[in-house]
Chain A
Amino acid sequence: MGGARRATSEVGQDERYARVAVTFAAAMERLSRAYEADADQRLDLLQDIHFALWRSFAQYDGRCSERTWVYRVAHNVAATHVLRRRRSRAQAFTTLDEIAAHADPAQASPEAEVGTRQALDRLTALVQALAPPDRQVVVLYLEGLDAAAIGEVCGLTPGAVATKIHRLKAVLARRFEQGGQDAG
């Protein structure tokens, strides 16, 4: 009987994962790009995220929305990946405050002359340089989540999220000559 319940539970886990894997496939790939620059390592990270999502649905109890759960699990896996990788190679992270406080001399060329690909590379590099907590807020903002949803995923108050997004927008506006849509 216990075996039958486990089998039923595993079917539910499989079905939920299969649905989420399709719905969030692109978002998860972008997330892995935000956390890993190396292509081979990125694929490993993406697979780890999918595997963790599948495992996580064995204990998903509806305490938060499925989207919040997916982002929490995915970002936690990615943060673990960053911590593990950081032990094996010297890599300095920065915070949004530090980026906002210092002009980047490498960004002096007019954005109008920069192609979309280069702009995306620049945006990705900026995201990858951030410490995981700031990086999570930035990625979720870029994914189009509002401040309340970002706060729920990250465990931050909407006010703290709004402050970070405000700083981020200032940085992005300086680098891209315009901000994105309001998150809050």
Chain B
Amino acid sequence: MPAEPSDLDPQKLWQGQATEYDPMTLAAVHEKARTFQFRIRRRNALEYIGAAVAIIGFLPTLLLRQSWMMQAGGAATIAGVVFIVWQLHRRASANAVPEAGEPLVDFYRTELIRQRDAVRSVGLWYLAPCIPGMALLLLGRWFQVHAGHRSVGTDHLIIALMGAIAVLFFVVVWLINQRGADRLQRRIDEL
């Protein structure tokens, strides 16, 4: 039977909702705490494994005696990867903590500003560290190491194409993040 308008006091309606779940028991909370710690350790481990794989992948270039540019590029790329992992770790640790009991308006603004700054500066902490290494690797390939089974002209064309793709990738990632930062800024302004 339809409710009468007088039954539709929004506060009564809201508070009169049936509950579906029992409160979490202490045992369940403690179990969740263990899972939480495990996830943090796993996330850290994955970041370090990713960095280790990248470092191992670029180690052979350090041994390329015929191209100091590619050696320097490999070293710069490894340094860049280490820097990015450190930044990811630092930024994850600096996350606003929801359980600090701050009023929402402060917490929400802090969180939006933190996200905006991370996204806005992605060029500095995520893209720029890769650029010197990438540039040196491409320059080393261009000037010092040619593929033996191709003509120099074809080899240069392929290297130029790879460079163009890398530049395009960097520009697209940067633009997407700038648009994201603009959206976040609009939400901050609305507060």
Question: By the criterion CB–CB under 8 Å, are A29 and B13 in contact?
Answer: no
CB distance from A46 to the nearest CB of B (A): 6
Q: Which of A1-9, A99-107, A136-144 contacts B (4 or more CB under 8 A)?
A: A136-144
Question: Is A21 an interface residue, CB under 8 A from the partner?
Answer: yes
Task: Give residues in A with beta carbon < 8 Å to B.
Answer: 14, 17-18, 21-22, 25-26, 28-30, 33, 43, 46-47, 50-56, 59-60, 63-64, 69, 72-73, 75-77, 79-80, 83, 95, 111-116, 119-120, 123, 131-133, 136, 141-144, 152-156, 172, 176-181
Task: Give residues in B with beta carbon < 8 Å to A.
Answer: 1-15, 17, 19-24, 26, 28-29, 32-33, 36, 96, 98-108, 111-112, 115, 187, 190-191
Question: By the criterion CB–CB under 8 Å, are B26 and A29 in contact?
Answer: no
CA of A131 to CA of B183, assembled, Å:
14
Question: By the criterion CB–CB under 8 Å, are A155 and B24 in contact?
Answer: no
CA of A90 to CA of B96, assembled, Å:
23
CB distance from A107 to the nearest CB of B (A): 13
Query: Chain A: interface secondary structure?
Result: helix
Collect the chain B residues with CB atoms within 8 Å of residue A80's CB: 96, 98, 111
Question: By the criterion CB–CB under 8 Å, are B99 and A178 in contact?
Answer: no
CA of A83 to CA of B106, assembled, Å:
15
CB distance from A148 to the nearest CB of B (A): 13
Collect the chain B residues with CB atoms within 8 Å of residue A33's CB: 17
Question: By the criterion CB–CB under 8 Å, are B5 and A142 in contact?
Answer: no
CB distance from B29 to the nearest CB of A (A): 5
The 5 closest A-B pairs by CB, nearest first: A155-B103, A56-B99, A180-B11, A142-B14, A76-B98
**Pick from B7, B14, B28, B101: contact of A59, CB under 8 Å:** B101
With contacts A29-B19, A152-B103 known, what are 13 further pairs, Cβ within 8 A?
A30-B17, A46-B21, A52-B99, A56-B100, A63-B101, A72-B102, A73-B98, A76-B100, A77-B98, A77-B99, A141-B11, A144-B15, A177-B5
Question: By the criterion CB–CB under 8 Å, are A51 and B21 in contact?
Answer: no
CB distance from A120 to the nearest CB of B (A): 5
**Pick from A25, A56, A79, A116: contact of B19, CB under 8 Å:** A25
**Pick from B5, B17, B20: contact of A178, CB under 8 Å:** B5
Taking each of B15, B33, B98, which has the highest tally of chain A beta carbons within 10 Å of its own beta carbon? B98
* Given A76-B107, A132-B104: A51 and B36 interface contact (C-beta under 8 Å): yes
Question: By the criterion CB–CB under 8 Å, are B103 and A72 in contact?
Answer: yes
CA of A79 to CA of B111, assembled, Å:
10
CA of A26 to CA of B1, assembled, Å:
26
Nearest B residue to A140, CB-CB: B104
**Pick from A83, A111, A144: contact of B115, CB under 8 Å:** A83
Collect the chain B residues with CB atoms within 8 Å of residue A180's CB: 9-12
Collect the chain B residues with CB atoms within 8 Å of residue A153's CB: 103-104
**Pick from A18, A115, A142, A144: contact of B2, CB under 8 Å:** A115
Nearest B residue to A25, CB-CB: B23
Collect the chain A residues with CB atoms within 8 Å of residue B12's CB: 180
* Given A80-B111, A131-B190, A143-B15: A50 and B24 interface contact (C-beta under 8 Å): yes
Q: List 9 A-B contacts (CB under 8 A).
A: A18-B26, A46-B21, A56-B100, A119-B3, A132-B108, A143-B15, A152-B103, A155-B103, A176-B8
CA of A33 to CA of B101, assembled, Å:
21
Question: By the criterion CB–CB under 8 Å, are A76 and B24 in contact?
Answer: no
